[in-house]
Structure 1
Amino acid sequence: MTRFDRYMLSQLFVLFGFFSLVLVSVYWINRAVVLFDRLIADGQPASVFLEFTALSLPNVIRLILPMSTFAAAVYVTNRMASESELVVMQATGYSPWRLARPVFIFGTLVGVFMMALTQYLVPASLEQFRFRENQVSGSLSAKLLREGEFMTPSKGITFYIREITPEGVLKDVFLSDRRESDRTTTYSSVDGFLVSEESGPKLVMVNGIAQTYKPEERTLTKTKFTDFSYNISSLVDGPTALFKPLDQRSTVELLMATELISQATRKSEGRVLEEAHGRFNQPLLCLVAALIGFSTLLVGGFSRFGVGRQIIAAILLLVSVKLVESIVTDPVRSNPQLWPLVYAQSIYGLMLAFAMLRLAARPRRRKRDASLQESAA
């Protein structure tokens, strides 16, 4: 590796770290505000918030890595072009293909880091995040004890509390049970209490009314009560330990047990294979983003007016790469035999970068041929 390669690589990684830090911070703040509000409202300590934040970071980093790679390549290329560093290197005989070598190494190294994220860190962190989320949301305080908010702790159940007194008395309790198709039962009471028993937690309602409506018979039955006990253990959906979404399963599992996972998650086999091969395709996108950002700016050469048009063109090329992904998504999900199309966007992006580098090298050939013709004349 020459001194120029080391110099350009150092510039790329410095800017890559800067843009990654900025983008991760922006994305994390947006997520953290919602997460902080939800956890603090549920009465969770700050340590739980920090734990959830740490578990969500690998997935956030995975999302911003291609953007950071592209931004670093564009910024470094623009700076080196504006300071005539690339012009000097080209004058010494460096072709665009030779200049692209450190960018290729940079994109490859970032892709290796992305591979570690997609194959190991992200699935493991998402699985642990979901496990801890089930533990937190599985508590009665997180599921039920929220003032002035209509909640649906389980399918077919609506629960509301107007106020919770310092003594733990629930004021103006409303509970609607629509889990049975032939009837809807609604409970409302002035006061309520949560009581823990061996058979499970119970909601004791005081001075209320129960209304049962049967749509087939079109009858409404009302019953007044002074106190009524309702088993609420069924209101809280327990964590489904055996069920794991696709993004939390290992790549080997997705590839070797595609049919079983398809049945377990109720996703098509094409969707399972798309998730598995997408983890190999995402590291390639980091290389594609770096090469497109560099090669597109190199086409314009040196200009005192800057390379604004080339930057816009590079962004549009990346958008076209994203469009290829949207085009092939439906065919892959409907037909698992078409899984190679997952790599279509990376192949298309590499072809674009190759075309841009070839276009950047062509003007020099033309000038060289013209100078040879003039000298021969």
Structure 2
Amino acid sequence: MSRYDRYVLSQYLLLFGFFALILVSVMWVNRAVVLFDRLIADGQSAMVFLEFSALVLPNLVRMILPMAAFAAAVFVTNRLIRESELTVMQATGSSPARLARPTLAFGLIAAAMMSVLTHLLLPASKGQLAARETEIARNATARLLTEGHFLHPGHGVTFYVRKIDPDGTLNDVFLSDRRDPAREVVYTGSRAYLVRDDGRANLIIVDGMAQRLDTRHRTLSTTVFSDFSYDITPLVTKQEGEKRSPNMVSTAELIRNPHTVATETGTTIGKVTEVLHQRFARALISLVAPLVGFSTLLLGVYSRFGLWRQVLLAFGVLVGLELLRGALAEPIRDHPDLWPLTYLPGVSGLILSGLFLRFAGRPIRWPLARQVPA
């Protein structure tokens, strides 16, 4: 690798790290707000919040990695053109294909990062995240035993306990059940206990009162009881099934036993096929993104108005490839034999990049572009 290649590659990696950090931070903050509201409101600790935040990072990085690689390639190439560094290299006889060599190396590095994410980190993080969500959803103590706070363990349900004794006794309990629009019930008690029995969770309220409001007839009835059992199983168990998703399965297992995975996850063989080949296709897109950005900016002639036309063209090509990938997803799910179409966006991007590099020696004269005489 020549000194020029090392110089350009170092610039790519530096800007790639910068753009990746900015994009991941923005997306992580948006996701963290939702996680914080859901976990902390359910009585979870800050460590659980940090754990969940770390587990969603691989998926966030997977989404922004091609965009960060594309942005780095466009930014560095634009600067090299403005500062005439590429012009000097072309004057020495370097062809556009030769100048694209560090971009190709950068694309291969981005593709390797994407491969590690999609084949190793992403399935492991999704599996661990699902396991932790199930564990927390089943943990009634973590969801309900938070003293001094009004908690909402389910839609239309509010729970409050003033104090918790060291032996687990709940003092001064308040429970409001508004899940039935025709009847609202409020339970209060001086003491309560959480009891598990055969996979079910019950809240035993002692020395309390139940107030039932019939919203249809506008009547209120009260009942005083010495002890009362309230089933809170629906509030502390996961409503969804506990089957694995194909995204949680390792690539090796998807290749060896696709039909077994489809049966176990309750999905179709087409979905399994799409998930498998998308993991390889994403790495190809990560390679294509910087090549598209670099080759497109080499088109055209110098203009005092900058390279905004080429930048828009490069962005349009990348959006078109993503739209093509989305359009092909449904046919592949319905007809697994069409799996080669998964790689069509990546191959199309490589072909376009090659054509752009081929025509880079013959600049396109953009309409309305003001030419500067030599």
Same fold (TM over 0.5): yes
1:257 aligned onto 2:257: yes
Q: 1:247 to 1:192 in 2, by over 3 A?
A: farther
* Residues paired across the two proteins, number: 345
The residue that corresponds to 1:207 in the other structure is 209
Aligned residues: CA RMSD: 3.0
Matched residue, 2:129: 129
Contact 1:299–1:356 (CA under 8 A) maintained in structure 2: yes
Deviation string 1:200-229 (CA, Å, 9 cap, x unpaired) is 6422353226899xxxxxxxxx99562421
Matched, 1:189 2:194: no
Deviation for aligned residue 1:290 = 0.5
Alignment of 1:30-179 (within 5 A): 30-141=30-141, 143=143, 151-152=153-154, 160-161=157-158, 163-166=160-163, 168-174=171-177
C-alpha distance in structure 2 between counterparts of 1:243 and 1:42, whole Å: 24
Structure 2: distance between partners of 1:166 and 1:282: 52
For 1:52-85, what per-residue CA distance to the aligned partner results, in whole angstroms no more than 9, with x for missing partners? Answer: 2222222211111100100000000000000001
Cα distance change, pair 46–236 in 1 and its aligned pair in 2 (3 A) = closer
Q: Which residue of 1 aligns with 2:372?
A: none
Aligned CA distance change for structure 1 residues 344 and 194 (closer, same or farther; 3 Å): farther
Shift of 1:326: 1.8
- TM-score by length of structure 1 reads 0.82
In the TM superposition, what is the alpha-carbon distance from 1:242 to its structure 2 partner?
A: 6.5
Q: Distance in 1 between matches of 2:141 and 2:250?
A: 33
Sort the Cα spacing of 1:39 and 1:32 in 2 relative to 1 into closer, same or farther, 3 A.
same
The CA deviation string for residues 228-283 of structure 1, in whole angstroms up to 9 with x for no partner, is 21343465326999721111110121222222222222222111111011000111
2-structure distance, mates of 1:241, 1:137: 12
**Structure 1 alignment gaps of length 5 or more:** 153-157, 179-183, 213-221, 365-377
Counterpart for residue 248 of structure 1: 248
- Contact 1:278/1:342 (8 A) holds in 2: yes
The correspondence of residues 279-318 of structure 1 with structure 2, limited to 5 A, is 279-318=279-318
Q: CA deviation at 1:121?
A: 0.9
CA displacement at 1:26 relative to structure 2: 1.1
**Contact map agreement 1:203 1:231 (CA 8 A) in 2:** yes
> How far apart, CA to CA, are the structure 2 residues paired with 1:76 and 1:116?
25
Q: Which whole-Å deviations, capped at 9, do the CAs of 1:319-374 have from their partners, x for residues lacking one? A: 1101111221111011111111111111111122112112212349xxxxxxxxxx
**Distance across 2 between alignment mates of 1:337 and 1:192:** 65
Higher helix share: 1
Distance 2:44 2:235 in 1: 21
Q: What is the distance in 1 between the residues matched to 2:183 and 2:260?
A: 39
Provide structure 2 residue ranges, at least 5 long, that are not aligned to the other structure: 165-170, 215-220, 365-374
- Give, in angstroms, the shift of residue 21 of structure 1: 1.1
C-alpha change, 1:305 and 1:159, in structure 2 (3 Å) is closer
C-alpha distance in 2 between matches for 1:38 and 1:142: 13
Cα contact 2:44–2:143 (8 A) shared by 1: no
| Secondary structure, counterpart of 2:299 in structure 1 | helix
- CA 1:237–1:46 in structure 2 vs 1: closer, same or farther (change >3 Å)? closer
2 CA distance for matches of 1:54 and 1:335? 36
Change (3 A) 1:250 1:240: farther
Letter in 2 for 1:160: V
CA spacing shift, 1:159–1:240, aligned 2, 3 Å = closer
SS at structure 2 position matched to 1:169: strand
* Residues 173 and 192, structure 1, Cα contact 8 Å, conserved in 2: no
Identity %: 43
Partner of residue 168, structure 2: none
Q: Deviations over 1:172-205 (max 9, x none)?
A: 5327589xxxxx9985434485413463642235
Code of the residue aligned with 2:41 in structure 1: it is A
Q: Is the 8 A contact 1:194 1:202 kept in 2?
A: no
Q: Higher mean Cα deviation, 52-61 or 106-115?
A: 52-61
